[in-house]
């Protein structure tokens, strides 16, 4: 493999060329339009390093010396780091570090068998739930599928392994009346009541709610724009990212009750901003703590659970506000496509699958349509 930097006489810009020779063929990699020779040379060095690294990986794979542990590390760095949301990446890294590498990491990539995977699932069931083991299975299948795409493997043995079947999780759904009881109980906290109230009225995800700024709310049109999400790093710092792949930007139209509430909440925001001055966080957040900063999920969940206890309702997660919102709409015969758009699902079929309990009553209604007198 050789590389060089050349100046284009027509454009007076620089480009690099890398000649790659293999037993099978010869390839040439070219990248143009660098303003300076130094810039082109640095880009060439980085490209050469990456190509050499790929060659070493392929050599190791061909020689059969690459272990699953080494491949897992490679997958995290090459794919997961740049193609998944931060929280998702941390989840993958944790599963690999705590579970997959200690138990399977010593096995050579080419030598992995279905029986070894099946034994792994059986052993893990003594430590974690069937649902968690199924998450491990999905991650392992994904990583080995990528190994095929990268030509490290020719088949994915994990696809034939059978993970345990977990009991289907049944979220808690509140009725409209129960939600109102919860909202009333949540008033004990001026910090957390607004986000709980808005979550129930919009069905937005927690990260989406935490990221909302006042510029995202149009009071005149009664709509809120969902374009980003907040997440928390290990150090406790909150960062904002665009919605991840598969989650589209969307607009949620809200009713008069939420409009009146948010207008009142905005007045409180303005009062606090004036009162605290420069000590008030300038991020223009819709939902904020005592100094205008991001609400911490752990503290919100504590306040949410306390509100549930005060209301006398059955226990539920904050995410179940979203489920309740969708269930109420579907039971009121709101078209699934509209519900899907409000929730940010990529297609209505996902909404119908998740909320099949809410649409089962519609089957009974459909059966009687032709019994009605015209």
Q: Report pLDDT digits (tens) over 295-326.
A: 999 999 999 999 999 999 999 999 999 999 99
Three-state SS at 373: coil
Residue that has been written with the tokens 């808005």 in this structure: 198
Predicted confidence (pLDDT) per residue in 187-245, tens digit: 999 999 999 999 999 999 999 999 999 999 999 999 999 999 998 887 788 888 887 55
Beta carbons of 286 and 212 less than 8 angstroms apart: yes
Beta carbons of 214 and 269 less than 8 angstroms apart: yes
Domain boundaries, the chain: 2-63, 68-160, 176-365
How many beta carbons lie within 10 A of that of residue 222, not counting itself?
Answer: 15
Predicted confidence (pLDDT) per residue in 97-143, tens digit: 999 999 999 999 989 999 999 999 999 999 999 999 999 999 999 99
Fold of the 68-160 domain: DNA polymerase; domain 1 (1.10.150)
Please state the rounded mean pLDDT for residues 360-366: 64
For residue 27, pLDDT over 80 is answered with no
Please state the rounded mean pLDDT for residues 277-282: 91
Three-state SS at 92: helix
pTM: 0.66
Token pair in block for residue 62 = 């061909």
Predicted local confidence at residue 363, as pLDDT: 65
Domain 176-365 in CATH 1.10.443.10? The answer is yes
Beta carbons of 230 and 239 less than 8 angstroms apart: yes
Token pair in block for residue 256 = 């008069």
Instruction: Starting at the earlier edge strand, list the strands of the sheet with 217-218.
Output: 217-218, 223-226, 250-253
User: In the chain, helix, strand, coil percent, each to 5?
Assistant: 55, 15, 30
Token pair in block for residue 97 = 């570090």
Beta carbons of 29 and 50 less than 8 angstroms apart: no
């Amino acid at each position: 493999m050789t590389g060089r930097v050349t100046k284009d006489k027509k454009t007076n810009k620089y480009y690099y060329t890398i000649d790659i020779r293999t037993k099978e063929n010869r390839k040439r990699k070219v990248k143009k339009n660098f303003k300076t020779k130094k810039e082109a040379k640095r880009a060439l060095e980085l490209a050469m390093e990456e190509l050499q690294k790929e060659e070493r990986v392929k050599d190791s794979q061909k020689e059969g010396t690459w272990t699953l542990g080494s491949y897992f590390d490679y997958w995290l760095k090459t794919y997961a780091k740049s193609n998944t949301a931060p929280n998702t990446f941390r989840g993958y890294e944790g599963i690999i570090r705590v579970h997959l590498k200690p138990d399977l990491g010593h096995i050579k990539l080419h030598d992995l068998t279905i029986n070894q995977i099946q034994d792994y699932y059986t052993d893990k069931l003594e430590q974690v739930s069937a649902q968690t083991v199924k998450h491990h299975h999905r991650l392992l299948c994904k990583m080995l599928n990528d190994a095929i795409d990268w030509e490290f493997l020719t088949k994915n043995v994990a696809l034939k392994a059978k993970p345990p079947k977990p009991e289907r999780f049944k979220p808690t759904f509140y009725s409209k009346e129960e939600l109102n009881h919860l909202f009333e109980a949540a008033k004990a906290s001026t910090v957390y009541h607004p986000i709980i109230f808005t979550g129930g009225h919009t069905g937005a995800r927690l990260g989406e709610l935490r990221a909302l700024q006042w510029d995202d709310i149009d009071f005149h049109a009664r709509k809120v724009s969902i374009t980003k999400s907040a997440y928390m790093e290990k150090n406790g710092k909150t960062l904002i990212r665009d919605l991840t792949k598969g989650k589209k930007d969307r607009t949620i139209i809200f009713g008069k009750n939420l409009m009146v509430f948010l207008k009142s909440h905005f007045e409180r925001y303005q009062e606090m901003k004036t009162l605290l001055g420069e000590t008030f966080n300038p991020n223009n957040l819709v939902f904020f703590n005592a100094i205008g900063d991001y609400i911490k999920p752990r503290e919100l969940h504590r306040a949410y659970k306390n509100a549930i206890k005060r209301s006398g309702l059955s226990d539920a997660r904050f995410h179940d506000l979203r489920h309740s919102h969708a269930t109420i709409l579907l039971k009121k015969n709101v078209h699934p496509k509209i519900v899907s758009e409000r929730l940010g699902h990529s297609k209505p079929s996902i909404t119908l699958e998740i909320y099949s309990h809410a649409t089962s009553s519609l089957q009974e209604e459909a059966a009687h349509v032709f019994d009605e007198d015209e």
